[in-house]
Chains A and B, each alone.
Chain A
Amino acid sequence: MKGYRKYFVNKLLWLLVTTFFAFILNFILPRLMPGDPVAAITARIAQGMSNSTGMKEFYQQYADLFGTNKPILEQFFLYIKNVVHGNFGTSFSQYPRPVLDIIKSSVVWTVCLQFPAIIFGWIIGNTLGALAAYTKKGFDKVLMPISIFVSNIPAFGMAVILLVIFGVNLKWFPTSGGYGFDLIPTLSWRFIWSVIVHYQLPFWSIVATAIGGQAIGMRSMSIYELNADYVKYSRFMGIKDRKIVGYVFRNAMLPQVTGLALSVGTMVGGALVAEIIFSYPGLGYTLLNGIMGQDYPLISAVTLIITMMVLLANFIIEIVYGLIDPRIKAAQSD
């Protein structure tokens, strides 16, 4: 247990150091983009305004308000102070809306779309990959080419294919939105059903592209494990297939679990393609707009959340690995 504590403390320290640098990068990187966010706001105000003195006044007013004319170090400490108090500031692109409000309203859609899709794609993909490795023959010969083909269709391609076939041509599913264009959100069956129906195309567009990659990865890992010495030895020992397959999948699963953790960590970034093509509400498109509009507070807040989720997911995986696979702990503790 002493070795594990050392391992845990070591990982925790790395988490803190990485978080610190991630924090700095989250602040600096958006501000390194060329262009001037205050100019965009002035542009909106300038519509219909014909005197240039007034325009300069507005530019100055908003530069003061957002603090973009302050020294970068001062801005940084102000940012840290606000974030510590749970305040991500006011959005530039959706001024005067608070960043937290923007994130709150869109993150739910993103998580509810992405999380089940990632889990579902991961489970189906790994199951199919393991089946292909185990059964070989026809199943493998059919599954592999299909997996490779599907996993190489870009996300936007898959989304558009599903949209055109099932939305536009067959009219089985709606083409856009998170719920019916003619509904107001209420706790009614009609609304719930509408959400379910609108959910299908974005969901399957993510799942379909995820399955192939997972299946290929799992198949390779399983084939490798099935040919391992311990499997042959187990067979010589007369251990039942069922037991052996259990060992094989557990070992083959390890890298796939890492992949899953990272996918879950990055899901807050949003399913940008699905969100755009199906006009589905979510954080991906909000972040894209933030980047296009150089909305520093919004970009910093979203990327900070993504960074923290990835770091935490990694940290948890490392800790769990240390528990379930003593080899890793031993190698890291040396």
Chain B
Amino acid sequence: MRKNILFLLSIFIIAGVVLAACQPAAETTTEEPTAETAVEEPVAENPADIAASLPRDETLYFNGQQWGSVVCWNPYSSNCNNAMALAQQDNARVTMFETPYLYNMLDGKVYPLLADGDFAWDAGMTAITFKINAAAHWSDGTPVTAEDVAYTWATHVKYNTQFGAANKDYIDTIEAVDASTVLVKAVLGDDGKAINPLLVQAYLSSNYVIQKAWTEKLEARTDGDAAALMADVAEDVVFSGPYYKFFTDDTKVVMVRDDNYWGQDTSMFGKLPVPTYLAHVIYKDNAAGTTALQAGEVDVSQQFNSNVQDLWLKDNLPISTYLADAPYNIGASLPTAYYNMASYGLDQVAVRKAIAMAVDYNTIISNAMTNQSATFTQVPRSLMNPTPGEQALFDHDAVADLQWAGSDIEGANQLLDDAGIVDADGDGWREYNGQNLHYIATCPNGWSDWQAAIEVVAAAGKEIGIDITTNYPEWSVYQTVVTNWPLPETGYDILMMWSDGAGPTQPWGRIRHLISSEFAQTTNNWNGNWGGYSNADADALIQAIPTMSDAAELKAAYTELVTIYLTDVPSFTLMYRPQSFHTVNESVWTNFPHEGDGTNPAVPPLDLTDGWSIAGLYNLTLVK
């Protein structure tokens, strides 16, 4: 009997193993048998036709940029979820599509890409003129012309794309003076000058030039329908950048180098970027991405790797960050806690400032950011990020008395006592006009570093007799609530949101989004000032700064804005966060951007894909 049962067991096990073994074979038949062919055939021997695997010494691997599957390749769309190819922003991603200029966050300057030489404002500050590089050509071999630039803008406006809607208040027209000369006319104010020169010139380093001929083809097949035009997957798009689509599925996206890329002309880079392929495996979360980085399957990591220093100090891996020591990266944005000005008692400056003073920022930085942020002792708080360029824009001495580094329980208590906000009934909580101060601090659920920060804010409240509890709604709910004024009566007294990073309009853009009343108490507000703060003096300065050209005048204005911000405390920064995390594994590739690497202009730590950081792709070398 026992023999039979063992026989039965063996049969079951074999059946199971066979079933399991069958699975992969079945799976292969469901996959694309060959890599998707490229949209264009820019090279005689297309690597897309011959490669079934990506040679490790020709492929640069990324993580932290692409989450989820790629949807489309359409530069007119904002919904392609195509992080390796499309990002028209302050530091535009220029792997496949290109902007006239490249922004460098390290020196705050722009460098020509499709453009030839610097752009120039006319004497009356009404229009910008720039030239297109004669060497620049599209992937189909036709030259990039001024008409392409003009038609791109006209299309943005005609179909009200995101990029048209974002800029049409500031840019009037973009015209082709001749085949290579572009004239960007600004919308003028009452004084006859551009109402916002900053945003006009930022367009040139933030927005792609798209081929006119391809755009006309797109318009023809979508029959002039704006929604259809922006929903087109654009598999046939013509591009001017050094990389293009090689393969995508639900697990990865791979781009391959266009060996006919115009940028190898001596007027630009003089050679091709080093890696043949740029590949990004789609990881499900940061933990999976970190494991792959440790295993050497990722070369450039644009994600938060907790305790990043352990990777080289404890694990002895050839991994490094832009800065050798904490904070490891250059802080660029300011994750901020906003006060809801409509909440009871939060209209009182003393309450707002006391909470902000009591918060233990060092704990936030060490726990939530694992020291990947400068402390507020190293970079005292203002409205500026820690980059030297922004720090030089205000008078540090003038605002020194207003700045706080945190954990100042005594000072916060004193401030509240002086304001008459005391615990009169002895229940342990302070009252304002007889009512206990009770607040709920909130941020989206699952945003672990933000949640850790909010917990520290809540703990600070208890230290100074203000009851702060926490609440973490799902992001889908949170975003709907905080972007639509009025905020609910409870649940959103102190709320955490982001601020702008580094870019050609900064720090003006960040300040505008933090405190300008144009966004206060509005609906569909994705810009900022979510707490509903309003200050006429600040508004006037924010309006005036874009037209200022005198450095001293600019510094005085920024100093005044910092003074207003630190006095009124409508919100407070909890940490500094890099524009992009930039952690590199040098087991295969080396010569990545690092502080003091001798590059000139210095290549910023933006993953070799954004703005001037693309120059880093030309400097890479193999370890062996």
Contact = CB atoms under 8 A, between A and B. Distances in A.
Interface of A: 33-37, 39-52, 54-59, 61, 65, 94-97, 102, 105-106, 108-109, 112-113, 115-117, 119-120, 123-124, 127, 130-131, 134-135, 163, 167-168, 175-188, 190-192, 195-196, 199, 203, 241-242, 245, 275-279, 281, 285, 289, 292-294
B25 A276 contact: no
A243 to B, nearest CB: 10
Contacts of B169: 51
Interface string B467-505: 000000011110110010000000000000000000000
A184 B231 contact: no
Given A40-B479, A48-B162, A181-B297, 20 more contacts: A34-B476, A39-B524, A51-B169, A52-B524, A55-B165, A55-B525, A59-B524, A95-B79, A105-B249, A105-B250, A116-B20, A116-B22, A178-B27, A181-B61, A181-B292, A182-B55, A182-B279, A184-B54, A277-B284, A277-B287
A108 B288 contact: no
Contact of B52 (A33, A106, A188): A188
8 contacts: A37-B476, A44-B78, A49-B162, A50-B509, A52-B527, A55-B525, A59-B524, A178-B251
A277 B23 contact: no
A67 to B, nearest CB: 13
Contact of A203 (B8, B20, B61, B162): B20
Given A52-B527, A177-B251, A199 B5 contact: no
A177 B281 contact: yes
B12 interface: yes
B534 interface: no
A59 B168 CA distance: 18
Interface string B7-22: 0110011011101111
A279 B9 contact: no
A42 B476 contact: no
B252 A181 contact: yes
Contacts of A45: 78-79, 162
Contacts of A294: 476
Contacts of A56: 523-524
B227 A124 contact: no
B24 interface: yes
B23 A112 contact: yes
Nearest to B59: A182
Nearest to A119: B19
Interface residues of B, number: 97
Contacts of A131: 5, 9
Interface of B: 1-2, 4-5, 8-9, 12-13, 15-17, 19-35, 51-56, 59, 61, 68-69, 71-72, 77-79, 81, 88-90, 160, 162-163, 165-166, 168-169, 199, 206, 227, 231-233, 247, 249-252, 254, 279, 281-285, 287-288, 291-292, 294-295, 297, 474-477, 479-480, 483, 509, 512-513, 518-519, 522-527
A307 B7 CA distance: 38
Of listed A94, A113, A117, residue having the most chain B CB within 10 A: A94
B231 A120 contact: no
A182 B53 contact: yes
B243 to A, nearest CB: 16
A239 B5 CA distance: 17
Given A48-B90, A199-B24, A242 B4 contact: yes
Nearest to A120: B16
Nearest to B87: A47
Given A42-B524, A55-B526, A245-B5, A185 B249 contact: yes
Contact of A175 (B61, B247, B295, B477): B295
B283 A279 contact: yes
A130 B477 CA distance: 49
Nearest to B53: A183
Nearest to B478: A35
Contacts of B69: 94, 97, 102, 105
A185 B526 contact: no
Given A97-B71, A119-B16, A184-B53, A61 B28 contact: no
Contact of B19 (A65, A120, A130, A185): A120
A11 to B, nearest CB: 30
Contact of A50 (B8, B250, B294, B527): B527
B187 to A, nearest CB: 12
B477 to A, nearest CB: 4
Nearest to B282: A279
Contact of A182 (B2, B29, B54, B474): B54
Given A182-B53, A184-B51, A192-B25, A175 B480 contact: no
B190 to A, nearest CB: 19
A142 to B, nearest CB: 16
Contacts of B9: 127, 131
Of listed A49, A105, A115, residue having the most chain B CB within 10 A: A49
Of listed A37, A56, A123, residue having the most chain B CB within 10 A: A123
A279 B4 contact: no
A155 B88 CA distance: 41
A277 B288 contact: yes
A176 B283 contact: yes
A55 to B, nearest CB: 5
B89 to A, nearest CB: 5
Contacts of B77: 96
Contact of A52 (B15, B475, B522): B522
A43 B479 contact: yes
Given A50-B527, A124-B13, A186-B34, A281 B251 contact: yes
A50 B284 contact: no
A43 B232 CA distance: 20
A191 B52 contact: yes
Contacts of B2: 135
Given A35-B480, A120-B19, A109 B27 contact: yes
Of listed A48, A180, A278, residue having the most chain B CB within 10 A: A48
A172 B13 CA distance: 22
Nearest to B231: A96
A182 B480 CA distance: 40
Given A51-B166, A94-B71, A183-B52, A175 B292 contact: yes
A37 to B, nearest CB: 7
Contacts of A55: 165, 524-527
Contact of B56 (A40, A48, A116, A182): A182
Contacts of B288: 175-176, 276-279
4 interchain residue pairs of minimum CB distance:
A54-B165, A46-B526, A96-B231, A185-B31
Contacts of B476: 33-37, 40, 292-294
B27 A112 contact: yes
Contacts of B160: 54, 57, 61
Nearest to A288: B284
Contacts of A35: 474, 476-477, 479-480
Given A35-B474, A123-B15, A48 B284 contact: no
B374 to A, nearest CB: 25
